[in-house]
């Protein structure tokens, strides 16, 4: 871990259960509780050096190249996770929303990766079968276990932070970087459609967590926190040549 989990920005302890958290806040949201419980990793993931340099257009091409290759390898596991979520979703409307997002990452985003790999001179074999870092393997394993061994709530517990982290840092970028592969990466995660989708995902997890047992809430908390922790490591690993 990058620090002691479960402390808010002011350093005070966040209650270990959502019931305790909600008792102090009449408008409490489960996803806010999970986010606060994930500190200080949340701040490191959304305000760390990698995202600051990316937003400022100062990120070294080789660092971004390593990052993008690993991220593309991760997309396959993310697509599988969404497939499980579609199967477990409680309504047709939810299944439709998730299916639409799956189409986005397998079409528009896939086109972005291809063009960016061309610009960054990534060879074909590295695109198809890269050597995965320990962090990428850990992230893929986490997503796989959450979806296969849990249910809709557990799947959301890793899906929500994976997308919410990106929306948060991207929204803070004030001016688009000059390189298209940096600018478009920001745009993919800072647009009304993506913001709406992340907001909807949060609502889904808010409801699911509020309707489940305290024991299961603790499991969801661990999955959410572990995802944020690995997001921090994922960004940092890109600097390791």
Residues 172-229: tens digit of each pLDDT: 998 989 999 999 999 999 999 999 999 999 999 999 999 999 999 999 999 999 999 9
Per-residue CA distances from 20 to 17, 211, 226 (Å): 5, 15, 22
- pLDDT tier, 1 (very low <50, low <70, confident <90, very high otherwise): very low
pLDDT at 6: 66
All structural domains of the chain with their residue ranges = 23-237
CATH code assigned to 23-237: 1.20.910.10
pLDDT tens column, 89-146: 999 999 999 999 999 998 888 999 999 999 999 999 999 899 999 999 999 999 999 9
| pLDDT higher than threshold 50 for residue 2 | no
Buried b / exposed e along 205-215 (16+ C-beta atoms within 10 A): bbebbeebeee
* SS3 label, residue 191: coil
> What are 12-57's pLDDT values in tens digits?
689 999 999 999 888 999 999 999 999 999 999 999 999 999 999 9
pTM, rounded to two decimals? 0.93
């Amino acid at each position: 871990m990058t620090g002691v989990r479960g402390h808010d920005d002011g350093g005070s302890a966040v209650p270990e259960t959502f019931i305790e958290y909600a008792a102090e806040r009449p408008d409490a949201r489960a996803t806010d509780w999970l986010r606060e419980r994930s500190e200080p990793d949340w701040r490191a993931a959304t305000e760390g050096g990698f995202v600051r340099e990316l937003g400022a257009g100062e990120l070294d091409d080789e660092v971004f190249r390593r990052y993008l290759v690993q991220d593309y390898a991760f997309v396959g596991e993310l697509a599988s996770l969404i497939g499980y979520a579609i199967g477990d979703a409680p309504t047709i409307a939810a299944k439709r929303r998730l299916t639409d997002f799956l189409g986005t990452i397998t079409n528009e985003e896939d086109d972005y990766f291809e063009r960016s790999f061309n610009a960054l001179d990534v060879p074909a074999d590295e695109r198809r079968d890269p050597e995965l870092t320990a962090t990428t393997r850990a992230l893929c394993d986490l997503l796989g276990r959450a979806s296969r061994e849990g249910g809709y709530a557990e799947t959301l517990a890793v899906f929500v932070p994976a997308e919410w982290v990106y929306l948060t840092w991207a929204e803070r970028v004030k001016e688009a970087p000059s390189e298209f592969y940096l600018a478009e990466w920001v745009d993919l995660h800072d647009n009304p459609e993506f913001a709406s989708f992340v907001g909807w995902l949060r609502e889904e997890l808010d409801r699911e967590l509020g309707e489940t047992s305290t024991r299961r809430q603790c499991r969801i908390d661990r999955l959410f926190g572990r995802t944020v922790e690995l997001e921090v490591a994922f960004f940092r690993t890109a600097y390791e040549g």
